[in-house]
Structure 1
Amino acid sequence: MLSPVFLPHGSPYTIFEKSEFTAFLNRFGQENRPKAIVIFSAHFESEITTIAATDDVHDMEYDYYGFPSSYYQVQYPARGSTIVASMVEERLRQNNIPVQKKYRGLDHGVFPIMMHAYPEADIPIVPVSVNPFLPARQQIAIGEALQGLEQDGILVIGSGFLTHNFNEIDRNKEAQPRAWAVQFRDWIREKVLARDIEALSHYETLAPHAALGVPRAEHFVPLLIALGSGSPGREIDVLHDTIEHGSLSTLAFKF
């Protein structure tokens, strides 16, 4: 069974890095071989849940600035799947969740993960957008509509970051974790492992230092979507857990 997961996607630097984090992604890909992937990327935003449907090789979206030219020549030639896109659309519509199909290529919330987990680019990928302005409970409901896709060999991934505050990132990757980042990470980890939906639905007011950890929710809501898409009775596992650059949590879950 291909349990849904929440994965941090790293920065564009992740593309060429070899690190503890990229080694984790490599192991993850070796241990999980889906027929197709549905991925909610923090870098694909839309007011209405939008599915990028194609059977062709995906375009590349180099949605970052100021990097060396090699970062704009990276190719990840995975195909899409209109069949899987239609499965996602049908499930969302059945649950009264507004949805549309509109094509968009693979952004850096997608291809840095995929390049390390599935370097052969041989698994179809269906990107789906997030709306960071929806309440937390509605984010979870989007995931709940997709429960059971794993039975068809489809892996649901929420791609984001537990903490994502550029003003709090230390340039030194090995910088000591800041106290607020540890406290926020620990609170979220505890509530996720307990599947405390009520607390997580109000994380903005209940979690310590939530405003520092999540100044804008686009990188956090893929966690809630992935949580919702998991089977309610199954134990949740932590897949990876470090804090880099002083405040950037790489906490990853399997649901």
Structure 2
Amino acid sequence: MTPQPAAAALNQLTTLNKSPRMPVLFLGHGSPMNAIQDNEWRRSWEKLGADFGTKLPRPQLVLCVSAHFLTNGWWLTAMDRPKTIHDFGGFPQALFDQQYAAPGAPAVAREISQGITSPKIGLDTGEWGFDHGAWSVLKPMFPKADMPVLQLSIDYGRPAAEHFALGQQLRGLRERGVLIIGSGNVVHNLRAPRKAGPVPPYDWATEFDAVVAGQLGKGDLKGLIDFQKLGNVAQMAHPTYDHYLPLLYAAGAVDAKEPLQMFNANFQGQAISMRSMVWG
């Protein structure tokens, strides 16, 4: 897992100006309703977005890896005007009415695709857009939607180490004003029985969340790859891996010694950890 060749190539993109090194985010997005409800998570995204351009450098572009863009092979959105995708059901009409009209950046997507030769990253010129893993956090963060956004898909059939390694290759983008965001959840089990009312998280959920937090705190980023070694706890925390894998892209894109701030270190319900991170 050597990031240098592609990272160096991406640091030389001609479509983006050199900039101060951008942070990397992992955001626990939880329920789609967080996009429109006034709650602690939405408010945290609003606050975080307000920091860009004041406490943090303003991005030239956002590259989002969402738990909801799962494909065979890797793909990068490359359309001028990505559509807003409402990839959920059973929610109020107000949620389906939401639009996020940020532009795409086809020229940047082409350069990224050319800069990363292994694995091959295809260009999606019309199939996808912004799924709720992306727009539900971006809309509170950057409500003007005036910043180009790309989504990188997750090749769901590949082993965890390859997702981390691709994150490593994305590092060079940070020197070109690209804000890399992984959007998923540290714990995500919608199959677990749910109880009404305020109830504490499951023991296995808090255990898995604590292990991940411990690895992050120690800078053991590569240790995140071997999450399945936790056995049944990992299987309960992630019956499917889609919401965990975005964390590996974010962790791969940073150096273990970079400053880390964790926030939203709590649960939405019994089996969804909202733990989120800012590196850099």
For Structure 1 versus Structure 2, the TM-score category normalised by the shorter chain is over 0.9
Q: What's the CA shift for 1:171?
A: 5.7
Distance 1:135 1:82 in 2: 28
Counterpart residue identity of residue 146, structure 1: L
Name 2:240's counterpart in structure 1: 216
Q: What's the CA shift for 1:208?
A: 6.7
Distance 1:37 1:134 in 2: 24
Picking from 123, 139, 145, the partner of 1:101 is 123
Secondary structure in 1 matching 2:130: coil
Structure 1 position 231 matched with structure 2 position 255: yes
Name 1:245's counterpart in structure 2: 269
Counterpart residue identity of residue 45, structure 1: L
Structure 1 position 5 matched with structure 2 position 25: yes
Q: Which moves more between the two structures, 98-107 or 79-88?
A: 79-88
Name 1:48's counterpart in structure 2: 73
1:111-150 paired onto structure 2 within 5 Å? 111-150=135-174
Distance 1:101 1:198 in 2: 28
Q: Which moves more between the two structures, 28-37 or 214-223?
A: 28-37
Name 1:194's counterpart in structure 2: 218
Distance 2:196 2:111 in 1: 43
Q: Which moves more between the two structures, 101-110 or 191-200?
A: 191-200
Secondary structure in 2 matching 1:145: helix
Counterpart residue identity of residue 171, structure 2: Q
Change (3 A) 1:218 1:122: same
Distance 1:178 1:23 in 2: 25
Distance 1:232 1:87 in 2: 27
Distance 1:6 1:50 in 2: 20
Distance 2:139 2:197 in 1: 21
Structure 1 position 39 matched with structure 2 position 64: yes
Percent identity of paired positions between Structure 1 and Structure 2: 26
Structure 1 position 90 matched with structure 2 position 114: yes
Supply the RMSD in Å over aligned alpha carbons. Answer: 1.8
Q: Which moves more between the two structures, 114-123 or 191-200?
A: 191-200
- Is the Cα–Cα contact under 8 Å of residues 67 and 183 in structure 2 kept in the other structure? yes
- Deviation by residue 1:160-190 (Cα, 9 ceiling, x = unmatched): 1111111226365742122111111000111
Change (3 A) 1:195 1:137: farther
TM-score, length-scaled by structure 2: 0.84
- Deviation by residue 1:8-42 (Cα, 9 ceiling, x = unmatched): 12222112111111111011101123111000111
- Is the Cα–Cα contact under 8 Å of residues 221 and 256 in structure 2 kept in the other structure? no
Change (3 A) 1:197 1:208: farther
Structure 2 gaps of 5+ residues are 1-20, 53-57
Aligned residues: 252
Structure 1 position 164 matched with structure 2 position 179: no
Structure 1 gaps of 5+ residues are none
